[in-house]
Chain A
């Protein structure tokens, strides 16, 4: 019984462990042959500990996560607000559809030059791009979620005489919470990707920049350490979101 459970717990780790093993073997062989491009995972782990000890790891992680979170907050708030309006009013949806379809496909990183002109290097530029990138998926998903709110509930709100504000906060928003979480998890992923991309391309801060510096100073071990760490951070953030979603849905009466 306990053996069985242990096996089940171990099973997902088998493949990553094998992969790291093969990579270790391959990278060691490559560096033995005189390559500077690859470092074995063991060296990456040592570089990781070094970065963790001197504090640069936490500083850069904090910067990237904080900026991604703030940008997501900004983009999500605007996206949810507009999505609710467009979802409830067909007239507003018609008014906005053209502008949305034109602006939405603009790749968010293509805004880096514009944002640099407007905000210079630093937090504000990255914030603006993350907010832009997360705004669109949130807007579109929230709009479609609102359009699918049980029409009976909207009738109930009319019969009870709820104000527009009460209707949004007491009927529509709670009704879309499950879909909102799907949208937010997507938004979190987008925010992280865009934040790191902006740091790699332009902003001299955060995890992306640290990885670039490691690469440019021929330190593949440190670069790999950052790469692995970014993956771990993304995994952890998603796990936190899942946990949050479970907690919220339990409080909202969803039976386990």
Chain B
């Protein structure tokens, strides 16, 4: 009797079948794909280009007229008066600008800084919605059908993780390409191999983050709850990180959050690999953190799925 179904799904077979399903659904909706790309483009265009921090210090913004100092104000006092050239002063401040940017942001233009942060932004949104998709599968009965087949429970979760990762990697590629078109300045240490490094970092963060959101959604039947969670934490996760502003300028308590926020580590890793001149030691720290984050949360997610997918 036990020879009825002579085939047994290998773990990989199940994961791939379910991932393929999600990718197919995704590719069949080009509008959603387009929107997912348009959103970061709008952010890059408006936020990245409008907030032109580097340009604030350009000589056209700094026009200082000649300053006349009475000789008595000097030490030691002199008779008569001294005139300081406004043009020379303006030039001094304008030269000072890029140094300031370089020290705070690591790059001289804000666009290069934030457009790399956009990669983290898109990864975060894509993974957040992987939690929603399992809620929909439950509501539409699809999840129950899958659960009644011998496919591994872990494969159900891992296929969603894999799907989110592949989508994020695809979107990251597009954002990076667009950013370069819009004027991203890559550093001298950038090479094609670095792109593989970016993929690896994006993949690790996706695995960790989507495991978190899926674990939260495992037993939920309300997509409203998921939506509320996404709305609540996307802002703090995004802004208590180095995605848009440097951590060094934040108050201590935000810095504390930013230092455990995985978004910071992905952003730093991608910056090291693109716009900054590569600092191997901090890149190692980034990857170590992302690796541990991914391992811990995917383990928890898969362990919970064995326990809680079946009520």
Q: Do A and B come from one complex?
A: no
